[in-house]
Chain A
Amino acid sequence: MTGISEFLHMGGYAFYVWGSYGLAAVILYLNYLLPVRHEQQLMRKLSILQASKTG
């Protein structure tokens, strides 16, 4: 238990270390999520357009 809390404590630099890694995680995740979602929406939009054209 002390091992984990000591690890989380990061020698007193917890805020700076976890802040950096947390920020990196959020930014990298958003950069993954947004284009992937955008592509799905685009494909859906195009297929609806297509269906309405061909009937």
Chain B
Amino acid sequence: MWEWLIKFASPMNFYLLVNRFAPWLGRAAVVLFAVGLYGAFFYAPADYQQGESFRIIYVHVPSAWMSMFVYMTMAGAGAAGLVWKTKVSDAIARSCAPLGASFTFLALATGSLWGKPMWGTWWVWDARLTAELILLFLYLGYIALQSAIDDRRMAARAGAVLALVGVVNIPIIHYSVEWWNTLHQGPTITKMDTPSIHVDMLIPLLVMIAAFMCYFFALVLVRARVEIIEQERNSKWVQELVLPPGGHK
């Protein structure tokens, strides 16, 4: 197990692994997006209270979910980098940030587009919305920190500490609708005993979440691969990769 992990953590093996899996994850994402979108518009019935506007749920909930999942991945990879000092985990942590920031922005923007017709306002300083906005600032802070520090190891270490401190925000986002009285509606999926969503509406949502997951994993791997190639540009394996023997001049 450990041997396997250490082998995986070598930049070259990681490169080969990404080449192998990222295209499949990408294809899976495309298929799942197609199925999920079909379900979102043609399979799921209109909501009896919110009418057609509820269809925003199929981009809003997956992006909100991803905004937290990506953050945990970033913090986890950052922690692994702190402990084992592996280049690959640092590259993964760094690659999470722009994707996570995008998902967070998307969750806020689609929430706003949903809030306007349903609540009558684009924005309220409500617990969940504010915590999600803080999450966006955490991502942006992380990105700014990465570009401010030239030394990659230092930047990775500082970023990991920032990410780990920010983890406290994740349960706040998740439980905010239960802890405080808020305008945001309660959880839809995570109460498995009494699901508050009809199964015809739930299935497309789960497919969309799976699509977002595959999309994220494909792209975080590609981003980390670019990062690794850049870092290892002077190593033998990258040079052989760039100019294979007997290849072009």
Chain A residues packing against B (C-beta within 8 Å):
7, 10-13, 15-17, 19-21, 23-24, 27-28, 30-32, 35-36, 38-39, 42-43, 46-47, 50-51, 54
Contact = CB atoms under 8 A, between A and B. Distances in A.
Contacts of B41: 7
Chief secondary structure at chain B's binding surface: helix
Which of B46, B98, B242 counts the most chain A CB atoms within 10 A? B242
Contacts of B233: 46
22 contacts: A7-B41, A12-B51, A12-B52, A13-B52, A13-B117, A16-B113, A16-B114, A17-B53, A20-B56, A20-B110, A20-B114, A24-B106, A27-B105, A30-B102, A31-B99, A32-B219, A35-B219, A35-B223, A42-B229, A43-B242, A46-B233, A47-B243
B242 A24 contact: no
B52 A27 contact: no
A24 B113 contact: no
Contacts of B116: 16
A12 to B, nearest CB: 8
Given A11-B51, A11-B53, A42 B226 contact: yes
Contacts of B87: none
Contact of B226 (A20, A27, A39, A47): A39
